[in-house]
Amino acid sequence: MKRKSILKRLLLLTMLGVTQFSIAQGNGVGGINEATRMVTSYFDPATKLI
């Protein structure tokens, strides 16, 4: 009985960890895309002059 309780808690903690990791990965990709867009918009006028 006690073992089932420990396994349930472990499963819950694992699921929460995976969820947080997935959310963090999504935010990281969004930040990289935003930075790429900002750098591209900064240099875009200069590249059209060349």
For the stretch 1-50, pLDDT in tens is 788 888 888 888 888 888 877 776 666 777 788 888 888 888 877 777 76
Domain ranges for the chain, please list them.
1-41
Q: What is the pLDDT of residue 25?
A: 66
Q: What is the pLDDT of residue 18?
A: 82
> Tokens in use for 16?
């929460």
Q: What is the pLDDT of residue 1?
A: 75
**Residue position matching structure tokens 């995976």:** 18
> Tokens in use for 8?
């349930």
**pTM of this structure:** 0.45
Distance, CA of 4 to CA of 49 (rounded, Å): 69
Distance, CA of 50 to CA of 45 (rounded, Å): 9
